[in-house]
């Protein structure tokens, strides 16, 4: 997969997220550039567990991992997801916005069932 990078749309402790266009299809995707120490076995195990967990998740309310991409120039690993206009943090931080009891119950049940 070859991508044309756009702007950074998110940032976390272990990753940055970029909006990008897949050159072959023109599809807009989100690329999560993950940071981990390749010389640290625990860091590698953590990243492998995250990737395996994301590959197992299959639910309409959970973003599906579409693939993995690497950069030879930067020795970076990118997780490829469909692009969304918003994220859960923005949605639930809106004034007056709350998750319903069934949504919370589903989330907790799904997480426990799938060892998340």
Please tell me the predicted confidence (pLDDT) of residue 99.
65
Q: Tell me if 55 sits within 8 A of 34, measured CB to CB.
A: no
Q: Which domains does the chain have, with CATH numbers?
A: 3-85 (3.30.200.20), 87-116 (no CATH)
* Residue 64: both structure tokens together: 């599906």
Band of the pLDDT at 3, cuts 50, 70, 90? Answer: very high
Reply yes or no on whether the pLDDT at 106 is more than 60. Answer: no
Q: What is the pLDDT of residue 112?
A: 46
pTM of the predicted structure, to 2 decimals: 0.73
User: Which residues touch 26 (CB under 8 Å, ≥6 apart)?
Assistant: none
For the segment 79-94, the average pLDDT, to the nearest whole number, is: 77
Beta bridge partners of 20: 5, 29
HSE value, Cβ hemisphere, 13 Å, CA-based, for 8: 6
- Of 2-6, 60-64, 70-74, 102-106, the range with the lowest mean pLDDT is 102-106
- Which carries the bigger pLDDT value, residue 103 or residue 6? 6
How does pLDDT run across 13-30, given as a tens digit for each residue?
878 999 999 999 999 999
């Amino acid at each position: 997969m070859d991508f044309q990078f756009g702007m950074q749309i998110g940032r976390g402790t272990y990753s940055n997220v970029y909006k990008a266009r897949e050159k072959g299809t023109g599809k807009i995707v989100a690329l999560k550039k993950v940071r981990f120490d390749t010389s640290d076995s625990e860091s590698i195990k953590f990243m492998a567990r995250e990737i395996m967990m994301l590959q197992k998740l299959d639910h309409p309310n959970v973003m599906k991992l579409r693939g993995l991409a690497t950069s030879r120039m930067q020795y970076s690993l990118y997780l490829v997801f469909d692009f969304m206009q918003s994220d859960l943090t923005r949605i639930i931080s809106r004034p007056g916005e709350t998750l319903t009891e069934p949504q919370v119950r589903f989330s907790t049940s799904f997480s426990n069932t799938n060892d998340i």
